[in-house]
Structure 1
């Protein structure tokens, strides 16, 4: 990498960290941003799709646009005049791939690019910076006159994140038959009951609940008064909230739940039963 390029990319890295209000915040939020981008394109509540592989080719391409929008919002930076972003007076493009390589459009030749790559199978992501000099690009081009970053060019990428974990898609680890049983149940309550019965003692996010519940006020499905929570209570199962029941979750020795997660538990000791009864969950 040319020394001037390295100086430019190091300065950009520091600017990204500053805009994120620190390196730790950048590393914490960008992986979640990638997960959200993919999930919003999968759009389970409206499409009943669960995984990236179910998307059409054009939809997969749109993940890059979602990442651009969410990253721009997270860092609070303006759109560029020609490229995706304007940072410190520089035009910067964002290129995303879910495969191996990135395709660079003509307007970004010789410019700075933020490269993002993700693998749903591994739940790992990469984020790097490059100045897309001509010598770093393939000689050939596609019908849109885009060029691939060459093998030599890949050596010139300055990596900020490499093989970095991002939140896993819950459905990647669910057997196809189990997923089908959950999603094909005849009502939102029945779908959520099937979900939590299949995955006891495992934190389940609001996003998964929304996808399974498939209605506007999806959280109503797990409230008392006609929701799945009442069914569980009648059958000796407690549905706990990471927001309201964190102390009980800790007392029972369950996995830690974030404020956005719920966990179902079927107590099997007198002590656990009493704790849940005292809290009104049984």
Structure 2
């Protein structure tokens, strides 16, 4: 069982690699403050929301597997854990940051590691001990995420064998009291296919009937829900050009009393906006004609 004797601010952290150094409060850590200031100028909650969603979609690989729920028994625990690795690259791309060594990047000229977990703690590698880390927690069951900036002092990491890479978890008290919150708990958009009943999902994801019929059924079941492009790829998993099939839906949907709007088209965006709905390019929505 990993244990921790938590050293307080003002005491000395003993780290054989970087030498002894004081445990500073966040407001007294000049490097931490410089990184926090750089990050504060960016819409991090929005950036992370998109990056996490993209990372989850990448791991699920719905266009080939037909999967749409990361908590499904069809998803191996190792795949869920890999969301963090993909998120690192998504964030670097979104923020325009370089990939560097030994940590993940430099922000304001300062080395920073980017960590994420779909569990309760982060695995801090030895090279990141006593270094600045952006730690993101993703609560899949609640569809929420939040990030902190913390200096992962070795004195604040759980002792013990760690995992096979000698990574250690960060003390909850250190995260709660000696870190800088980057943004508060933020909602993570749910894949709309998760709103389907088991029977409805089985019908929509089935191989037969054809893609158009199954997409029409999806629109009926998910009337009023915004449907991103990736959902069509999942419904048409293994088939050629499902988006071309999606574009054939508008006339067929009218016969079922549905108005299909696509954010790629200006007139659709304008009509959605008139109804108080924001549609981004690549997003779709089905509405009742008489609504």
- In 2, the alpha carbon distance for the partners of 1:202 and 1:52 equals 20
- Aligned partners of 1:113 and 1:129 also within 8 Å: yes
Gaps of 5+ in 1: 273-282
> 54-63 or 96-105: which moved more?
54-63
Task: Give the aligned partner of residue 163 of structure 2.
Answer: 142
| Deviation sequence 1:65-124 (CA, Å, 0-9, x none) | 111111111121212221111223332111110011111111111111110111122221
CA contact (8 A) 2:192 2:222 kept: no
Check the 8 A contact 2:191/2:231 in 1, yes or no: no
Partner of 1:220: 244
Structure 1 SS opposite 2:71: helix
Counting matched residue pairs gives 260
CA distance in structure 2 between the aligned counterparts of 1:103 and 1:209, rounded to whole angstroms: 35
- If each structure's helix is expressed as a fraction of its own residues, which one has the higher value? 1
Equivalent of 2:47 in 20, 29, 43: 29
**1:188 maps to which residue?**
211
Q: Distance in 1 between matches of 2:150 and 2:224?
A: 44
CA contact (8 A) 1:113 1:131 kept: yes
Moved over 6 A (4+): none
Aligned to 2:12: none
Do 2:226 and 2:285's aligned partners in 1 also have CA atoms closer than 8 Å? yes
CA RMSD for the aligned pairs? 2.2
Within the candidate set 205, 217, 229, 1:206 is matched to: 229
Q: CA deviation at 1:63?
A: 1.0
Secondary structure in structure 1 of the residue aligned to 2:145: strand
What residue is the counterpart of 1:129 in the other structure?
Answer: 149
**TM-score of the two chains, using structure 2 as the length reference:** 0.81
Distance, in Å, in 1 between the alignment partners of 2:163 and 2:273 is: 56
Displacement of 1:142 after TM fit?
2.6
> Aligned in 2, Cα 1:100/1:136: closer, same or farther, shift over 3 Å?
same
Partner residue in 1 for 2:4: none
Name the structure, 1 or 2, with higher relative contact order (CA <8 Å, separation 6+). Answer: 2
Cα deviation 1:218-254 (Å, max 9, x = unaligned)? 221122xxx3333223444332223322333355x36
Does the alignment pair 1:263 with 2:285? yes
Separation of aligned partners in 1, 2:188 and 2:120: 17
Question: Cα 1:241–1:139, aligned 2, differ >3 Å: closer, same or farther?
Answer: same
Q: Distance in 1 between matches of 2:258 and 2:171?
A: 56
If the length of structure 1 is used for normalisation, what is the TM-score?
0.83
SS in 1 for 2:53: helix
Q: 1:32 Cα deviation (Å)?
A: 1.2
Instruction: Report what 2:105 is aligned to.
Output: 85
Q: Give the match's secondary structure for 1:148.
A: coil
- Distance verdict in 2 for CA 1:156–1:229, change over 3 Å: same
